[in-house]
Structure formats: C-alpha cells, structure tokens
Structure 1
Amino acid sequence: MKILLVEDEPLLGNLLRERLAREGFDVTHAKNGEEGFELLKKSVPDLVLLDIILPKMSGFEFMEKVRTDSELQSAPPIVIISNLGQDGDIERGQELGAVGYFIKAKISMEDLVSKIKEYMFPAT
C-alpha cells in the first residue's frame, strides 16, 4: 500500500516515513505542496498524509487543486496532520474532503499510525 507524505518539517517527515515503512507501507515523501501535487499526479497513492502549513503550496491549496483536477476524480483519501487546530481550520479540511484531521501536538506516533491503518483497511 502506497502513502504520499507531504510534510516540510524534516524531523517529523523522516520519523513518519521510517515508521510507516517499518509497518510495511511504501512511503513517498514530498517536502512542499507543489512537489506533493506533482507526485500525486505521477502515481496515485492509496492515501495522502498532508500537512497544512507548507512552502510553495499550502495543504488547503493542495486539496483544492485535487478537487478541481479532472485527472484526479478518484483521488485517494487525505488525512491532515497539522499544528493548526482551530475549529475553522478543521472544518475547512473536512469541507475540502479530508477523511481525518489530527493536530500534531495532540496525537502520538502510535495513535497516528493506528488511525492511518484504519483509513487504509476499514473494518468490513
């Protein structure tokens, strides 16, 4: 299963990439929104793990482009991981189609990995 990780913070990005790889996921890491969007168009993953505050293109702009791109009509689920925790930010993420929204400071790596697995392997 492929995950596209779009995270500009080097330490967190590397930790997430390594942890998800240990869990058996094939992880591609983009360090800004523009690079993430280009990678998404090249090879659609099974899930996108997306930060909001990114250089070149914010996570919200990324999601808006995904929604309006005719080539991405069957876009993968997007899970947001961000430091933005205001109700308005969470609502905007949900309106743009995020299936999950997690605040970095309030979720452990264990819980985040568990939630990612739930989104990728929903109980039947």
Structure 2
Amino acid sequence: MALRRFRVFCLLFISFDDEKGPEVYRVDPAGYFRGMKGVSIGVKQVPATTFLEKKIKKKADLNSTEVIELAIEALQSSLGIDVRAKDLEVVVVTKENTKFTKLKDDQVEHHLNQIANRD
C-alpha cells in the first residue's frame, strides 16, 4: 500500500482599507479566510505566526521599517537560524506606493544589521 502525500496550499492576499488600514488575508483550501495584521504560511507557520501575534499585540502601530524587521525576525525566530541578505527576498508595498518593490541585498543587509544591533 503506497502512502500518498498531500500538499496543502494557502493563499495570502494583501489589501488596504481606508478605515481598517492594511490587512493580510489567509485563504485555506476549504475557502475559509480571515483578515489579519500578520500571518505566515508554510512548514514553520505556527511558530512564525505566534511570534508575529505576540509582537503585534505589544505594538500594533508599526512603521514600514518596523514591519520589515518584524517579518525578518519572525522568519529567523521560527527557523532558529540567522539568515543572510542573499537568502531573503523582501518585497514591500505601501499605501503611498502600491507597486510591489523588491529590496536590494544591501537594503536587506541594513535591516539585518539593525536587528542584530538591537539584540
């Protein structure tokens, strides 16, 4: 008897509401969706999402720099390793600039240094 492996796919949608502000919607295969301030998907989604929930609960009003660094910290925390700039792709979208902008390696390195200096 062969065992079948099933992959579970999730979708993330990003939106900006003038009243609510930015939200991320996670949609699971059953069609269940929920708006959130921060969420992760993938193998380490539980520790990453828990990390995000704790940090966002402490400070809900984050600027763009804090959001970028929080996302990188969540990744590092859930993986249990320090990541390098060349290992990451960081993409930013804001209310002011609705186009997806990929950060360059030196910009990601700057955020990694800021995180390391805080710790």
TM-score, normalization by structure 1: 0.30
More helix by share: 1
Determine which structure has greater relative contact order: mean sequence separation of CA pairs < 8 Å that are 6+ residues apart, divided by chain length: 1
Which of structures 1 and 2 has the bigger CA Rg?
2
TM-score, normalization by structure 2: 0.31
